[in-house]
Amino acid sequence: MMQPPSGFHYQPFYCEENAWWLCAEPLLDAEPGVDDRPDRRLVVFIANRFGHCPFAGQRAARPGGIIWWDYHCVVLDGLGRVWDLDTLLGLPLPASRWLAGSFPFEARLPPDLMPYFRLVPVAEFRRDFASDRSHMRGPDGRWLRPPPPWPPIGTGHNLPRYVDLSSDGPGELLDWTAMHRRLAARC
């Protein structure tokens, strides 16, 4: 498994926490003179109706294979670039290239496997997100995957509100077509 670029808070299998820390990174700021509006920065949760969404180009997958995440979380900066610390595709990457590389099989997916995207403004996510990491413990209380070295984020656990497609959770929920339209309008 390849490691992400150094200098980032990163723990495999904790994408929502990686994204929370990434939102505070100065690297997400555009170069001086470039029109990058902070209000356009979004945290994007990706899930589907099946409960396991296929992704290509991820570090945790076998080389050339796909991985089935129950959800995934990335950051979309104000310039339309995706920051995904779990991808092998590049960092940052124009959103259209990230979508094409992460879902090259999209045209063949049945409706229940199609990804949905919950877009949450960065400031709202940084303020409201909380995880006690209980979703990463098995029935016996053991960790399913080693936890990050930093303390849990926030108080309590509201991660399900971000990944549940049937709830009217934070932000805006878009299907594949609406996400493409949104990205085209941002450019």
Query: What distance in Å separates the CA atoms of residue 23 and residue 37, rounded to the nearest whole number?
Result: 14
Residue recorded with tokens 């941002």: 186
What percentage of the chain's residues is helix, strand, coil (to nearest 5)? 30, 20, 50
72 is catalytic: yes
70 is catalytic: no
Query: pLDDT by residue (tens digit) across 83-137?
Result: 999 999 999 999 999 999 999 999 999 999 999 999 999 999 999 999 999 999 9
Whether the CB-CB separation of 91 and 5 falls below 8 Å is answered with yes
Out of 23, 72, 73, 77, the active site residue is 72
DSSP 31: P
Q: How many residues does the chain have?
A: 187
Out of 53, 77, 84, 86, the active site residue is 84
Q: Under CATH, to which class is 17-23+35-122+171-186 assigned?
A: alpha beta
For the chain, which residues make up each domain, given as ranges? 17-23+35-122+171-186
According to the model, what pLDDT value does residue 183 have?
Answer: 84
